[in-house]
Amino acid sequence: MSPAAVLAQDDELHEKGMLYNDELNLSDGTKIDDLRAAARARKRHHCHLRRVAWPNGMKIAVNFTADFDSMLARRLNEEPPMQRAKGEFGGRVGAWRLLELFNRHGIVATFFTPGRIAELYPSVLRQIAEQGHELADHFWEHRVPSDPMVERDHLLRTRDALGALAGRPPVGTRSGYRQAAVLEAGYIYNSHGFAAPLPYMMRSEGQTLLNLPFHWTLDDAMYFNFGWLGSENQAQRLSDPEQVLDIWWRAFQQQYDAGGYLNICLHPFLAGHAARIAMLNALIERMKSLPGVWFPSSEAVARHCIALPSDAFVCPEE
């Protein structure tokens, strides 16, 4: 079912009162009618693609992305040294292995990178850019400052740091920065939300920004990020790569049949281990065995979608 059809069906069910019991209140006194109104208001902020025709008759766009945050998140969480060393593996080994894998298969990947990583691992980032891959923003130090002026400073510092290594400023981000700040910094897309299976426009304060959606089921951290002993139980994740291969292959098949989009989120400190590289290699080989599979950078997907005619998107009325 297309996104437009889903929205129409949702509206019809709302009108019939079939989605919620109008008499139901939450424990804090919130009425379902109030939640419904908030949901409708939220929906008006998104313009969804009715359909998408990929370049050269391609049937699906498979967007391989890597969040190259190394040990920064570990530091912010005040995790012990061994956990930080896990992140360091990503910069010293994992990123190089992913780069080699993508090059071997002719995949143009996007590495979402905090500005601090440009200071810590400039050599691998320079190689990533020189070999045709995209460097994009992923915060300055993996956090959103509460002060708007500091937020703006982080955006600009990361833009300058990555631009110095790539030879041109980045055009995309994966972050929770305010949309106005992202647009002011010159970015044309974000890859931070999951409101639709296809790329969609986010509207805020009269401005629009394209979002390239991903989902936690396509994020390696949900399967391989084994937490430290002080972590909560849900942080203890250690999956068989073959099981992850099966999950991701099924997701690919569904989107391939629908003529859709897949955004696979990797982390060099997780996906860069040998058994997981082997799993990714097997996944890519399966994908390449089918006709019409496009492996673009996030920038390429964004520019293609932004250039689509306006009637390709369905925008709920204000």
Q: Quick one: how far is CA 136 from the chain centroid?
A: 11
Instruction: Say which range, 78-92, 187-201, 245-259, 297-311, has the weakest mean pLDDT.
Output: 78-92
Exposed/middle/buried for residue 78 (C-beta within 10 Å: 0-12, 13-18, 19+): exposed
295 pLDDT more than 70: yes
Report pTM. Answer: 0.86
Q: Are 172 and 189 in contact (CB under 8 A)?
A: yes
Annotate 45-72 with DSSP letters as a single string. Answer: TEEEES----GGG-SEEEEEEEE--TTH
229 pLDDT more than 70: no
Report the b/e string of 202-226 with b at 16+ CB within 10 A: bbeeeebbbbbbbeeebbbbbbbbe
Residue with tokens 């969040």: 67
What residues are paired with 208 via a beta bridge? 203
186 pLDDT more than 60: yes
- What is the C-alpha to C-alpha distance for residues 226 and 236, in angstroms, rounded to an integer? 5
Q: Are 302 and 246 in contact (CB under 8 A)?
A: no
112 pLDDT more than 90: yes
22 pLDDT more than 90: no
What is the per-residue pLDDT across 242-261, written as a single tens digit (0 to 9) for each?
999 999 999 999 999 999 99
Percentage of residues of the chain with pLDDT beyond 90: 71
**Tokens standing for 164?**
């110095």
Instruction: Say which range, 13-22, 70-79, 263-272, 283-292, has the weakest mean pLDDT.
Output: 13-22
59-67 average pLDDT score: 98
**Tokens standing for 129?**
């850019």
Residue 20: predicted pLDDT: 43
- What is the C-alpha to C-alpha distance for residues 234 and 203, in angstroms, rounded to an integer? 34
